[in-house]
């Protein structure tokens, strides 16, 4: 039987999602490593649906090159890679995958916080180089977590989950967002704090904001200079929220003690000097990278897409089509 809808999938997502799609759609799955702009436009031009990654910029030219397109399903919770206005103008529904990746991302934020504060990656490198000469009183001294202050930038699902995990360390939680989060205030005694104060008083700052025009370079030189020289910055949200060149200076010149980054300003490129800094822990955007989470994301992305093609409402729309 001929399938009714044609869908372009820009990369091989887990089978759990592909099977759902394949039951109803003719799939064109891009299997090469890097999708060029020309290839993107060519593959999309006759498609009804697009399932794409956060690393696929979907701008107005790409959107307008696909006259049949009805839905863009992003395999991510963040959707800054998509020109939402251009899609909305064309009546195209854009969807995302919130919720299922909250815990995995919060866990990674904590893994990074612990790694940078206890200098775990430095220690690992020392062992592999064969430089360990035995226990020493001053070897790789890091920062304590207990009773310290955790600053959360962005108190949505993931920021709140990170804050909840701080209870075991008896931390004071400060948070900043566009609006207050009474639930977080009640559950972990978190304090809504102006940005300048959050930068100045926190021992650890973890970023969980979406990338928008307002949050781009929110953590700039001024903010970094406000932080304590013993503080560590963790970013599992989006790279451009931090001015990477300013961060390199902050780490080199000791304005702050360390940074742990899962996201970068120009992925997959990273500032060349970051790689040589011992007080930076770097991971390759793996916040949601657990088997269970990626399977769940694949299913939701597929279901969102099919719901729109079937003429219904998707579970997680990010724009409103009148
Ligand atoms: C997202 O979904 O936005 C994450 O960055 C992917 O891990």
User: What domains, with CATH codes, occur in the chain?
Assistant: 5-100+291-309 (3.40.50.720), 102-282 (3.40.50.720)
Helix (H) / strand (E) containing 72? strand 71-74
pLDDT at 33: 83
Q: Across the chain, what does the average pLDDT equal?
A: 97
pLDDT at 128: 98
pLDDT at 71: 98
Ligand 1 pocket test, pick from 17, 56, 74, 77 with the greatest ligand atom count within 8 Å of Cβ, gives: 77
**pLDDT < 50: residue spans in the chain:** none
How many angstroms separate the CA atoms of 168 and 158, rounded? 17
Residue 77 CA to ligand 1 center (angstroms) comes to 5
Residue 183 CA to ligand 1 center (angstroms) comes to 24
pLDDT at 174: 98
How many helices and strands in the chain, by DSSP H and E? 12, 12
Enter the pTM of the model.
0.97
Residue 140 CA to ligand 1 center (angstroms) comes to 32
pLDDT at 55: 97
Q: Give per-residue pLDDT as tens, 122-166.
A: 999 999 999 999 999 999 999 999 999 999 999 999 999 999 999
Ligand 1 pocket test, pick from 51, 52, 73, 101 with the greatest ligand atom count within 8 Å of Cβ, gives: 101
Ligand 1 pocket test, pick from 210, 288, 298 with the greatest ligand atom count within 8 Å of Cβ, gives: 288
Report the interhelical angle of 291-309 vs 102-117 (nearest 10°).
Answer: 150
Q: Give per-residue pLDDT as tens, 90-116.
A: 999 999 999 999 999 999 999 999 999
Token digits for 135? 């226990």
pLDDT at 213: 97
pLDDT at 1: 55
Token digits for 178? 């566009």
Instruction: List the residue whose alpha carbon is closest to atom 7 of ligand 1.
Output: 288
The number of angstroms, rounded, from the C-alpha of 251 to the middle of its chain's C-alpha atoms is: 22
The answer to whether 75 and 9 have CB atoms below 8 angstroms apart is no
In the numeric block, the tokens 């207050």 are attached to: 180
The answer to whether 50 and 58 have CB atoms below 8 angstroms apart is yes
Residue 316 CA to ligand 1 center (angstroms) comes to 15
State the closest ligand 1 atom to the C-alpha of 79, by its place in the atom list counted from 1. 3
Residues with CB under 6 A from ligand 1: 54, 76-78, 101, 287-288
Cross-strand pairs, 50: 8, 72
Catalytic residues, by residue number, are 238, 267, 285
């Amino acid at each position: 039987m001929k399938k009714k809808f044609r869908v372009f999938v820009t990369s091989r997502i887990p089978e759990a999602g592909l099977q759902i799609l394949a039951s109803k759609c003719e799939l064109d799955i891009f299997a090469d490593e890097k999708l060029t702009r020309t290839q993107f436009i060519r593959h999309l031009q006759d498609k009804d649906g697009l399932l794409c990654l956060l690393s696929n910029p979907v701008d107005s030219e790409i959107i307008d090159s696909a006259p049949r397109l009805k839905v863009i399903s992003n395999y991510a919770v963040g959707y800054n890679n998509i020109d939402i206005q251009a899609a909305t103008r064309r009546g195209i529904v854009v969807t995302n995958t919130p919720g299922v990746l909250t815990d995995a991302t919060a866990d990674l934020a904590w893994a990074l916080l612990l790694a940078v504060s206890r200098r775990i990656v430095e220690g690992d490198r020392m062992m592999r180089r064969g430089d360990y000469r035995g226990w020493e009183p001053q070897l790789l001294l890091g920062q304590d977590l207990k009773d310290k202050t955790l600053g959360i930038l962005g108190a949505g699902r993931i920021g709140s989950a990170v804050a909840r995990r701080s209870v075991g360390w008896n931390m004071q939680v400060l948070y900043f967002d566009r609006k207050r989060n009474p639930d977080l205030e009640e559950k972990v005694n978190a304090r809504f704090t102006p940005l300048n104060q959050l930068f100045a008083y926190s021992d650890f700052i973890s970023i969980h904001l979406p990338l928008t025009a307002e949050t781009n370079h929110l953590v700039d030189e001024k903010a970094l200079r406000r932080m304590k020289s013993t503080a560590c910055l963790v970013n599992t949200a989006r790279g451009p929220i931090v001015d990477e060149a300013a961060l390199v200076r902050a780490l080199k010149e000791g304005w702050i003690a360390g940074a742990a980054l899962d996201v970068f300003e120009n992925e997959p490129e990273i500032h060349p000097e970051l790689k040589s800094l011992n007080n930076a822990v770097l991971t390759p955007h793996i916040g949601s990278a657990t088997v269970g989470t990626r399977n769940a994301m694949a299913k939701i992305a597929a279901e969102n897409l099919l719901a729109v093609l079937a003429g219904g409402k998707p579970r997680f729309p990010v724009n409103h089509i009148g």
